[in-house]
Amino acid sequence: MTPDEHTDEGKPIEGAPDGAEAFGDPDINRHYERYRGEYPIVVEGLTNSFGEQVIHQDLSLKVRRGEILGVVGGSGTGKSVLMRSIIGLQTPDEGHIEVFGRSLTDGDPEEVVGVRNRWGVLFQGGALFSTLTVGENVEVPLKQFYPGIESALMHEIARYKVMLSGLPEEAVSKYPSELSGGMKKRAGLARALALDPELLFLDEPTAGLDPIGAAAFDRLTKELQATLGLTVFLITHDLDTLHEICDRVAVLADHKVIAVDTVPNLMKLDHPWIQEYFNGPRGRAALTAQALDELRKHMDKPVAVNAIKALDNDAGRKA
């Protein structure tokens, strides 16, 4: 058995489904090096508008490798449009977008295909294909990009991806309609992770989940980010998510990103929307909750115990 004959890349893969030819040169789908640069996503001078309505004007944003970047902004500030622009679902009016150092705005389409299998996207409602089981949903991107993988391995990949996303084993062969909202999000995440992406886009992952489910999803995101070495672009309204797992937060307002920084630094800024957002009643509650969590880790010290008592009383009086 000589391995060399099996690594001959020019050889057409037998039994490949019809989709295999769609991309022509198979090498385009192959990438061997993880991205080592500092900024996997670079957006410069992005302008988007729908008719008269301007969404983005000269927006710039850089996402650091290995961070969880939270994106916040009021309704209609174009958080989702920004994400759609980066992943190529929305053609921007003007501006330059680079992902993994390749330009998506003026690169040729073949190059974009080479980037597409290096990111995963979780849409707000999960966007699972309703006629396929969860496991088959995970297999869809695998079949599309790597039709040469044997079906036995394909099934195994689907199974461990589903379990990696925190779903029970039985969920693999269930249809999306049989799952609860939280499970659908996890199944969507499993599909987003199908190709072992380096970049993960999450659009309001905790919206519509109960607080327990939301907290569990946050933990899962953090864990997966650490384990798989992901860079995460996370759109959210959830203040707890921002405090708990985001390394930095980008604030969208006035058609641009007005600030990108850690939450404590953002709170020092003197922008009315930021102040209202982080220092409003909900923002403070989330902050208190996080402070309590931190303190509970140090229960052996009397200072911490007293502080918890004080904070609990404070929270109790407000309620």
Partner 1 sequence: MSDGAEFAIDEKGRRLALSGNYLVSTIAPVDTDLRAIDQQLSEIDLSKVREIDTVGAWIALSLSRATGGKIVGASERAQRLIDAISATESGGEVAAERAPLFTRVFEATGARVDAARRGTIWAVAFLGQFLLAAGTLLRHPRRFRTKAFVRQMELVGVDALAIIGLMSFLIGIVIAQQGAVQLQQFGAETLTVNLVGRITLRELGVLMTAIMVAGRSGSAFAAQIGTMKLTEEVDAMRTIGISPMEALVIPRVLAVTFMMILLGFYSAGMAIIGGAVVGELALGIPFGSFLSRIKDVVPIYDLWVGLVKAPVFGLIVGMTGCYQGMKVEGNSEEVGLKTTNAVVFAIFTVIVLDAFFAVFFTNVGWA
Whose Cβ is closer to partner 1: residue 33's or residue 106's? 33
CA distance 156 to 162: 10
Name which position in 142, 190, 202, 289 contacts partner 1 (CB under 8 A).
Answer: 142
In angstroms, the Cα distances linking 316 to 198, 205, 291, 310 are 43, 29, 15, 10
**Nearest approach, Cβ of 89 to partner 1 (angstroms)?**
20
Which member of 36, 109, 177, 300 binds partner 1 (CB under 8 A)?
177
**Angstrom distance (rounded) from CA 137 to CA 177:** 13
Binding part of the chain for partner 1, among 49-57, 78-86, 224-232, 271-279 by CB under 8 A, reads 224-232
3-state class of 19 per DSSP?
helix
* Block residue for tokens 């864990």: 223
Burial of 49 (0-12, 13-18, 19+ CB in 10 A): middle
- Could you say whether residue 203 binds partner 1 (CB under 8 A)? no
Min dist CB 18 to partner 1, Å, is 17
Cα–Cα dist 313/288, whole Å = 12
The conformation of residue 129, written as its DSSP 8-state character, comes to: -
Residue with Cβ nearer partner 1 (110 or 156): 156
Residue 187 near residue 165, CB atoms below 8 Å: yes
* CA-based R_g, the chain, Å: 22
Task: Write out the binding residues for partner 1, residues 17-76 only, by CB under 8 A.
Answer: 29-34
The beta strand positions in the chain, using DSSP E, are 41-50, 53-63, 68-73, 94-99, 102-103, 119-122, 199-203, 231-235, 248-253, 256-261
225 touches partner 1 (CB under 8 A): no
State in angstroms the smallest separation of the CB of 169 from partner 1: 8
Q: Least distance from C-beta 248 to partner 1, angstroms?
A: 23
- Of the candidates 311, 295, 292, 290, which has an alpha carbon nearest to the alpha carbon of residue 243? 290
Q: 22 vs 228, which CB is nearer to partner 1?
A: 228
Question: What's the min distance (Å) between Cβ of 270 and partner 1?
Answer: 41
Is residue 159 a contact residue for partner 1 (CB under 8 A)?
A: yes
Give the nearer residue to partner 1 in terms of CB position, either 172 or 252.
172
Stretch that binds partner 1, among 79-87, 91-99, 170-178, 184-192 (CB under 8 A): 170-178
Nearer to partner 1, 170 or 294 (CB): 170
Residue 225 Cβ, how far from partner 1 at the closest point, in Å? 12
Cβ–Cβ under 8 Å, residues 69 and 247: yes
CB of 180: closest distance to partner 1 in angstroms? 15
Under the criterion CB under 8 A, does residue 221 sit at the interface with partner 1?
Answer: no
Residues 186, 190: Cα–Cα separation, whole Å:
6
Structure tokens at 214: 């939301």
Contact assessment for residue 96 and residue 121, using Cβ atoms and an 8 Å cutoff: no
Rule CB under 8 A: choose which of 62, 96, 174, 282 binds partner 1.
Answer: 174
Q: Which residue among 135, 188, 205, 283 contacts partner 1 (CB under 8 A)? A: 135
By CB under 8 A, which span of 78-86, 149-157, 208-216, 300-308 interacts with partner 1?
149-157
Beta pairing partners, 232: 68, 200
Binding site for partner 1 (CB under 8 A): 1, 3-4, 6-9, 13, 29-34, 117, 130, 133-136, 138-139, 142, 145-146, 148-150, 152-153, 155-161, 163-164, 169, 172-175, 177, 195-196, 227-229
